[in-house]
Amino acid sequence: AKSANAHRVSEKLIGHPNVVFSHAVLGDESQIVLLTADDPISLKLALHNQIRTHHGDRHHYITGTSTHMVTSFFGLNPDKESFKLNSNYHAWVTANLSAPDPEEFCALRIAKNLEVENERLQYGAKITAAAPVIGDFDMFFLIEAETFDGLSYVLDNELRSSGLIQETCTHMVTKEV
């Protein structure tokens, strides 16, 4: 979503029952929001009634949205408690893959994430969530790190060097100061 004041909009959106998280980010978008529902009609109503209705809000408005359907979810549980940001640095990474099955790639990345845990401890960084999506890219990844170098390490050494990722776009999560 694009908005006027990303932090204020995120605070408003997280109050909606179907919104799991709303993270203000740097990049092409102002927010990355996860919206859940029990069925497609409920999802459509939540999207229109909880997200897009902020178009008319004069103070904390949304100027546009881009929707991607998550086909499966790996890592963190998709609930509000799991997505409270505790590390110093967070980034949502969108990626296009050359792999035929994004879900299989995702499962392998999360498994590799566990295997290289000791190597990465010095950086305090890891991929904490991954989701194949239907849309103009194939995957979302959430990287959490204690240092910017740690975040860069995971992005470069675990995602971009995999040989299966064609391109990435990184959206740094911002925290209000």
How buried is residue 114: exposed, middle or buried, by Cβ count under 10 Å (0-12/13-18/19+)?
exposed
Identify the CA nearest to 34 among candidates 177, 176, 158, 173. Answer: 173
Return d(Cα 165, Cα 16) in angstroms, integer: 34
Q: Which pTM was predicted?
A: 0.81
Compute CA 118 distance to the chain's CA centroid, rounded to the nearest angstrom.
Answer: 24
Nearest to 124 by CA among 101, 144, 141: 144
Q: What is the pLDDT of residues 17-70, one digit of tens each?
A: 888 888 888 877 778 888 888 998 988 888 887 777 665 555 556 667 788 888
pLDDT at residue 9 tops 70:
yes
Q: What is residue 73's three-state secondary structure?
A: coil
Q: What angle do CA 127, 28, 175 make, to 5 degrees?
A: 60
Range with lowest mean pLDDT among 25-34, 85-94, 106-115, 130-139: 106-115
pLDDT score recorded for residue 107: 64
> DSSP characters for 94-107?
EEEESSS-HHHHHH
Nearest CA-CA partner of 93 in 47, 149, 138: 138
Q: Is the separation of the CB atoms in 126 and 143 below 8 Å?
A: yes
**Residue carrying structure tokens 């990345």:** 109
The CA-CA-CA angle for residues 22, 23, 28, to 5°, reads 115
